[in-house]
Amino acid sequence: MKSDLSIKDILQKDITRKINGVVKAESNQEETIITELSEYVVTEEIRKHLTKFFDKYVDSLNSSTEDIGVWISGFFGSGKSHLLKMIGRILENKKYGEKKVTEFFESKLKDAILQGNIEKASEVPTDVILFNIDNVSDQDTYQNKDSIAVAFLKKFNEYLGFSRDDIKVAEFERMLWEEGKFEEFKKFFEEESGKTWKDGSRNLDFHADEFLDVIEKMQIMTRESAERWLDKESIKSVSAESFRDLIEGYLKIKGAKQRIVFLVDEIGQYIGENSQLMLNLQTLVETLGVKFQGRVWIGVTSQQDLGTILTANDSRRNDFSKIQDRFKTILPLSSGNIDEVIKKRLLEKREIEREDIENLYEKKRIDIENLISFDKKGMTLSLYKDKFDFAETYPFVGYQFNLLQKVFEKVREMGHSGQHMSRGERSLLSSFQEAGIRVKDMSLGTIVPFNYFYESIEQFLEDNARRPIIHAKNERGIDEFGLEVLKLLFLLKGINGIEPNLNTLASFMINSIECDRINLEAKIKKALEKLEQQVLIQKDGDNYYFLTNE
């Protein structure tokens, strides 16, 4: 194999290209959507889940069903938001560029039955309303017993072009829309006030006179009635039943074939330990299921599967069986799914080099196993199964996928800013990309050490977690290598099943197949002594631990 090859030379795609590592439920730019559709990886697990969902969904086109709930679960970064969004895109089946969504999937699926079901499902006119529930609800509604229905109604109103945040105004707009007068009203209001209705409706008190003039002119109601309406308090309460009635009115106007699919991201996190909210969700799904018999569906995502959310508290076992009855279609994503996605989207090798990489492993397998060797007790940290696995994973190491997920989970639990990681601003894919970019110009044989992943999560850490590292650099005179050791100890802090001793740390910091391990261990030992002397870490037996300011 040519020794002058660098990491970037063996990869099929440019590792620095813009990858939408995180899927935000509501991003709608065409360019982003085309990239998402083109690069979406249908793993074997995703194919099974799509088959299960579209089997059930297509059945509901021909025969009535109350089972309209879909629960997609998976740990942080497993691709559940992405799956939710793709189901929505398929059901809408809009055209992006030159292709309809279903055409993007033909080459990915290689499954005639599934493709047939997807075609059938996407031929029916469907309103897909996709949202992250945290972005719609507010503190008021969180305390409100009907807050789930309020969030759904707000998003439904916004989708139809009505006011999202003022339910009273949206009701008025809906009445005009049903009478076919909404567009005309907006035009008259703008002529009268010089403001668009969207701007004017936000502060109707200021535009009351113009509003009343237009109402009178269009003979919508008498001026007195309109004044009374203006004085009425905004509507706060919405029940599952009142929401159901609004949808019924909408579907009557749209015709017998029209369907609605609500897709809600991060519902598990929103509900948390609140069993009242869980009951809320159950009531809403039940009410819509019984009434519309499959014309309205609800899909949600959650970090936990349904069982974990409810069995954490024994008294809620009963809730669990009820809500489980409402979400009959359960699609759990495993950690293997994201590994496969990262390998396909980031690490696919050029055909011409692939065989050479496999040969490199055959030649250097013993060296690699001697360089990266972990204690047998504790967590299982895998290297490579065989030469094919090596070719798929390189320049990363097998254990890094699973371990980084654990680090992300830990950071998420550490505090407020860590929460942003799960709100879709950071993903394992982008972390692997950032670490890969650091080694892209290095020669073949380079391995990504685990400490390189620190940079991609640093911006999501609370100040008190970051401060010791900033402090070490600016005030304690710790050199670059010492800082890398400190970052590694931060990543490993609080991860069960890992003994942060010298042997383990050296294995995590191996950066090349040709690495001199004895020399590396000596460097780490020297760095650890300095860090301990500066009270940045603590030694306990053979293990070293990162110290936070506390």
Show the 3-state SS of 384-399: CCCHHHHHHHCCCCCH
Residue 413 neighbours by CB under 8 Å, 6+ apart? none
* Other beta carbons within 10 Å of 366: 8
Residue 216 has pLDDT above 70, yes or no: yes
- Both tokens of 215, joined, read 């109402």
Q: What is the pTM of this model?
A: 0.82
Whether the bond between 395 and the residue before it is cis, its omega within 30 degrees of 0, is yes
Q: Are the CB atoms for 12 and 347 separated by under 8 Å?
A: no
- pLDDT on residue 29: 79
Out of 6-15, 89-98, 272-281, 496-505, which region has the weakest mean confidence (pLDDT)?
A: 272-281
Q: Are the CB atoms for 83 and 333 separated by under 8 Å?
A: yes
pLDDT digits (tens, 9 = 90+) for 80-137: 888 999 999 999 999 998 899 999 999 899 899 999 999 999 999 999 999 988 777 6
Q: How far apart are CA 544 and CA 486, in angstroms?
A: 10
Q: Are the CB atoms for 26 and 424 separated by under 8 Å?
A: no
pLDDT digits (tens, 9 = 90+) for 418-457: 444 444 435 788 899 999 999 999 999 999 999 999 998 8
> Half-sphere exposure of residue 197, counting CA atoms within 13 Å on the CB side?
18
Q: How confident is the model at residue 22 (pLDDT cuts 50, 70, 90)?
A: low
Instruction: Report the SS3 class of residue 126.
Output: strand
pLDDT: is 414 or 177 the higher one? 177
Q: How far apart are CA 303 and CA 320, in angstroms?
A: 16
